[in-house]
Amino acid sequence: MSHRFGLLTPSSNTTQEPEFFAALPSDVTLHTGRVAYRDITPEEQMRCVLELESESRKLADAEVDVIVFAATAPTIAKGKGYDRELIRRMEDAAGRPATTAATGFVDALTLIGAQRIAIGAPWSRTMDKPMVEFMQASGFQVVHSEVVGFVASIELGRVGPENAYELGLRADRPEADAIVMPGGNWRCMSIVERLEQKVGKPVLSNNAVSLWAGLRLLGRAEGIAGYGTLLRDHLGKAV
């Protein structure tokens, strides 16, 4: 059965559409809405969700089967439970099942049984604080967080995947059960498999997690190889 996958992405994002398109099964088509978001700042987090309903309704016009708001930072901005509030707003506007990147991270970590996590994020320390707090409030112990310091999202999109690989290595700690790599414009998906082999634990990148979450809502259970254990081994499993 074919499906239409609705993606809500920040307006400055240049990474998600290529990565999603490359990984989606051939019978799942990608359809994108964009919310205004230029810089990775608290102010932009608040601005981008103002367009959540209007962009969700536009995706509904294309009769998408699911909508994924695939940006981590805007979906954790007000702490635990905020992602669920955004999901309700999208579903009410579009009449379609919806989820967010933040929701996907929590569900994925729960499914794989990770309790202690290391975070490797491309943004500033200011932006990292709500991420750490969200994960801790969701029941996970953050043993370490490493940041790069990007503010301009468009600049992050120009950075090669090797930078993400190196960040993952710096973020890892022996006591961590998994490495979490938020940031939708961070080109991580192509290095997840190699990084997992190097560190010997699951690596959850924003875009792989968002894809996984959306495909689960579609009821897709066929694993997708090449992007790490989550998409390969855990698509059909219940949280």
Encoded amino acid at 203, one letter: V
Residues 86 and 146 reside in one and the same domain: no
10: in domain? yes
Residues 150 and 213 reside in one and the same domain: no
Q: DSSP readout, 93-129?
A: HHSS-EEEHHHHHHHHHHHHT--EEEEEESS-HHHHH
pLDDT tens by residue, 109-167? 999 999 999 999 987 788 789 999 999 999 999 999 999 877 667 777 788 889 999 99
- CB distance 124 to 150 below 8 Å: yes
182: in domain? yes
Q: Which CATH number characterizes residue 76's domain?
A: 3.40.50.12500
Planar angle of CA 87, 96, 91, nearest 5 degrees: 30
Q: Is the pTM higher than 0.85? A: yes
Domain count of the fold of the chain: 2
**Phi and psi of 210, rounded to 5°?**
-65, -40
pLDDT tens by residue, 212-223? 999 999 999 999
Residues 150 and 34 reside in one and the same domain: no
Q: Which domain holds residue 124?
A: 104-205
